[in-house]
Chains A and B, each alone.
Chain A
Amino acid sequence: QKEVEQNSGPLSVPEGAIASLNCTYSDRGSQSFFWYRQYSGKSPELIMFIYSNGDKEDGRFTAQLNKASQYVSLLIRDSQPSDSATYLCAATAAGGGNKLTFGTGTQLKVEL
């Protein structure tokens, strides 16, 4: 079982719609969770991180964490073509210090 799992996609949404990206993790001891955006050929950019159960909003982005279900999600409101990228979910490893474990990423395509 992979430690951090994501659907590889592609996930296609029309411009202006809400994109919902999901991630599950296997390590119950993971404390912090991160969402990164990666454009093709570029390095990842941090979108936001979350470590408390519930929702965290930043502009058009909302991260949701449910530790009981071991589930993290990222909502992108008013999706734009420039949001088209691969979104990587990452979690810190329990007992592993501050290392991050990444999922394989979900490719998002925002269509005009």
Chain B
Amino acid sequence: GAVVSQHPSRVICKSGTSVKIECRSLDFQATTMFWYRQFPKQSLMLMATSNEGSKATYEQGVEKDKFLINHASLTLSTLTVTSAHPEDSSFYICSAEQGASYGYTFGSGTRLTVV
């Protein structure tokens, strides 16, 4: 089945620094990837849709200058949290659609802690 690799799985950073999270589709090409954020005991909230070769589409309320998304190739999307603050601490998860008949596969997630 489809595999989406995400790393790092866990990162601790100081307030004010930037963190980059990578999401790769290992055995299929993904023209579209999605980035979610999940706070404890809450559901997944879509942050943005990452489109290969074009700008990401951000959900309402998500700061595009703070959460930089780059979809450099058909198998790689990155999310950079810039000038991170403690309130950015969360579980960030990417997903990719293999095709309409296969559903969406999630990466393993990145636990970000900003201290």
In the complex, A59 has a CB within 8 A of chain B: no
List chain B residues, Cβ under 8 A from A41: 111
In the complex, A76 has a CB within 8 A of chain B: no
List chain B residues, Cβ under 8 A from A34: 103-104
CB atoms of B46 and A105 under 8 A apart = no
How many residues does chain B have at the interface if contact means C-beta atoms less than 8 Å apart? 21
CB atoms of B104 and A100 under 8 A apart = yes
CB atoms of A46 and B104 under 8 A apart = yes
In the complex, A28 has a CB within 8 A of chain B: no
CB atoms of B97 and A43 under 8 A apart = no
Tally of contacts, chain A with chain B, CB under 8 A: 43
Q: Which of A81-112 contact B (CB under 8 A)?
A: 88, 97-105
Decide if the interface of chain A is mainly helix, strand, loop or mixed: loop
Q: Chain A residues in contact with chain B, CB under 8 A?
A: 32, 34, 36, 41-46, 49, 88, 97-105
Q: Chain B residues in contact with chain A, CB under 8 A?
A: 6, 32, 34, 42-46, 49, 93, 95, 97, 100, 103-109, 111
The 25 listed contacts between A and B (C-beta, < 8 Å) are: A34-B103, A36-B106, A41-B111, A42-B108, A42-B109, A43-B93, A43-B106, A43-B108, A43-B109, A44-B44, A44-B106, A46-B104, A46-B105, A88-B43, A97-B49, A98-B32, A98-B100, A100-B34, A100-B95, A100-B104, A102-B43, A102-B44, A102-B45, A104-B42, A105-B43
